[in-house]
Amino acid sequence: MSLLAGLPFGGVNPLGGGPELRIRELALDLSPLRAGGPLGLVLATRVLALLCIGLTSVGVVVQVYEQTRSSVQVGAVSLVLGAGLLLGFLVGGVLADRRDRRGLILVGSGWAVVTFAALSANAAADRPALWVVYVSGALFGFTEGVAETALTAVVPTFVSEEHIPATGALVTVTTTLGSIAGPMLGGVLIAGPGLATTFGLAAAGTALTTLLLTRLGPLPPTGAAPTDADVPPRGEAAPSDAGQPGVLESLREGLAFIRGSRVVAAVLVVDLCAALFATPTALYPQFAEERFGGGPELVGLLTTAPMIGAAVASLVSGWTGRTRHQWRVLCVTVAVWGLACLGFGLSPLLGFGLFFLALGGLADTFSEIMRRTLLMRHTPDPLQGRVSSLWLAQAMTAPALGGVLAGLGASAVGPSTAVAAGGALCVGALCLVALLYRQLWQETGESTVREGEGAQGVPAGDGGLGSNSEETAAT
């Protein structure tokens, strides 16, 4: 089936199954917040936490470069932080399915206070020590990975089934807001009060988030640990650590669930297609110089363009909570992202290039909302931690690998051709995935884990990639 099927034509919007959306319905859906509960507190603290992390990330890059004048050292610090995050995601996924998630979130937030305070004291010293930055980065990355996994796992438990799509949009919006505002404010503070003050403000802000998060009640995982079934029973107390499998075995259980769930597996495969083949960020410096004849200021402009598209998407994301066909929307938006990369690579003028990057940022934001919604809806609570950790780990490592592939392509055929080819490969791979999972085109957004049914509506033939039984095609 064509990826463009289901787009709104005439007066009907097949994506949502109802009348064409009114302008007011495009506004961000705040109904999950109006319903009450701890979601508002979690989202507010998340914005503040991301703001503080943004201040610190910019500060670390500036400090390391000022001390070493080496981009290699800057890359090494990022690598250390990334390694800590990856390990934290994997370990955190197991812990979040076994222990009180509130405790994991508080530990991560509390350790961030210590880390940022140490960076502030180090930056204020007469001779700042570079090893402090490396050690702090590694430890912060690990604890942040654990806390982020626990937070991602616990968000679906705060809302009802009907509010999951809107909640996915709110999480994406807060992530975008914090990720954009943090680095921007960090640059201003570093140029003004300086590094020590910037790190100090990050520590103070994170201390406030930790204090606010103590208002959350206990958040233990519910349901029994999975065995061979796709979806384990819900509502039972999580078992104790005694007799439970080790970390690697628990991760294998998470992978087994992903392979057995056609929706979750499809979402991760689609995400992988976009990250591997359509990741032009690493080529911005070379692209700016060779294609548009610019310098560092143009690199900043290219970096900002997708963020503008993401901000616009956040403001008009209300429709995402009303569409019933999240899989269709995910496929279409990832296709738009790939086509935007193709257009950017072929753009003869800077204006066209910026337009396509902004369009790509808009499509990528909508696709992230769909990914979050589908993963939250189709993952049982006892597996939320591990599935979230594997998704976050992929989201961190796949773009890095995609950047390497883009760099290799640029060295062989030039940056423009490499970016355009990557966009085309993304669309081609997406078409293949959509064909292999074509039964999901009829997916209507109904949860497979919240209805309390024995097999939760998952047919016995739902074996994952390319399953094309008559049973699955009919669902």
pLDDT at 244: 67
Whole-number Å distance between alpha carbons of 333 and 26: 16
* 120 burial type by CB count under 10 A (0-12 exposed, 13-18 middle, 19+ buried): buried
Q: How confident is the model at residue 233 (pLDDT cuts 50, 70, 90)?
A: very low
Interhelix angle 71-96/39-68, nearest 10 degrees = 150
- Phi and psi at residue 18, to the nearest 5°: -145, -165
Give me the half-sphere count of Cα atoms (radius 13 Å) on the Cβ side of residue 279: 23
Please count the other Cβ atoms lying within 10 Å of the Cβ belonging to residue 142.
Answer: 22
Task: Write out the two tokens for 329.
Answer: 């929307």
Name the residue with tokens 């939760």: 456
Neighbours of 168 (CB within 10 A): 28
Contacts of 1 (CB under 8 A, 6+ apart): 434, 438, 441
- CA 357 to centroid of chain Cα atoms: 19
Structure token digits, residue 22: 């009114």
Q: For residue 3, is pLDDT > 50?
A: no
- The reported pLDDT for the residue numbered 471 is 32
Average pLDDT over residues 191-196: 91
Q: Vertex 367, ends 151 and 453: CA angle to 5°?
A: 65
Q: Which residue would you say has higher pLDDT here, 62 or 454?
A: 62
Q: Which of 104-113, 157-166, 232-241, 396-405 has the highest mean pLDDT?
A: 104-113
CA-nearest of 98, 383, 375 to 226 is 383
* Alpha carbons 94 and 385: distance in angstroms, whole number: 6
| % of the chain surpassing 90 pLDDT | 39
φ, ψ of residue 437 to 5 degrees: the values are -110, 35
- Per-residue pLDDT of 426-454, as tens digits, reads 999 999 999 999 888 877 656 555 443 33
Instruction: Indicate whether 72 pLDDT > 50.
Output: yes
Most confident option among 4-18, 410-424, 454-468:
410-424
Picking from 387, 305, 346, the residue whose alpha carbon sits closest to that of residue 97 is 387
Q: Would the CA dihedral through 408, 411, 412, 414 be positive or negative?
A: positive
The larger pLDDT score, comparing residue 9 to residue 287, is at 287
Helix (H, G, I), strand (E, B) or coil at 59: helix
Q: Give residue 448's pLDDT.
A: 54
When pLDDT is cut at 50, 70 and 90, the band that residue 246 belongs to is confident
What's the rounded Cα separation, in Å, for the pair 385 and 391?
A: 10
For residues 172-183, give the mean pLDDT.
81
The number of beta carbons lying within 10 Å of the beta carbon of residue 297 is 8
Phi, psi for residue 261 in degrees, rounded to 5:
-105, 110
- Per-residue confidence (pLDDT) for residue 412, from 0 to 100: 87
User: Quick one: average pLDDT of 73-86?
Assistant: 83
Handedness of CA 404, 388, 226, 444 (dihedral sign): negative
Show Cβ contacts of residue 395 under 8 Å, excluding neighbours closer than 6 positions: 271, 275
pLDDT confidence band for 409 (50 / 70 / 90):
confident
DSSP 8-class letter at 163: G
Contacts of 259 (CB under 8 A, 6+ apart): 265, 463, 464
Q: Which residue has the higher pLDDT, 297 or 381?
A: 381
What's phi and psi for 100, nearest 5 deg? -60, 120
Distance of alpha carbon 7 from alpha carbon 238, whole angstroms: 43
Task: Give 218: exposed, middle or buried? Use CB within 10 Å, 0-12, 13-18, 19+.
Answer: exposed
Mean pLDDT, rounded, for 148-155: 91
More confident of the two residues 318 and 243: 318
pLDDT digits (tens, 9 = 90+) for 351-407: 899 999 999 999 999 998 899 889 988 999 989 999 998 988 888 888 878 888 888
- pLDDT at position 221 is 86
Average pLDDT for residues 407-417, to the nearest whole number?
A: 86
b/e burial code for range 409-432 (CB count within 10 A of at least 16 → b): bbeeebbbebbbbbbbbbbebbbe
Q: What is the mean pLDDT of the chain?
A: 80
Residue range 96-112: mean pLDDT, rounded: 93
For every residue of 334-394, DSSP letters joined together read HHHHHHHHHHHHH-SSHHHHHHHHHHHHHHHHHHHHHHHHHHHHHS-GGGHHHHHHHHHHH
What local confidence, expressed as pLDDT, does residue 357 receive?
A: 93
What mean pLDDT comes out for the span 81-102?
90
Mean pLDDT, to the nearest integer, of 242-266?
84
CA dihedral of residues 443, 448, 451, 453 (deg, nearest 10)? 120
Amino acid at 39: L
Residue 12, strand partner residues: 9, 19
Q: Looking at residue 79, what is its pLDDT?
A: 79
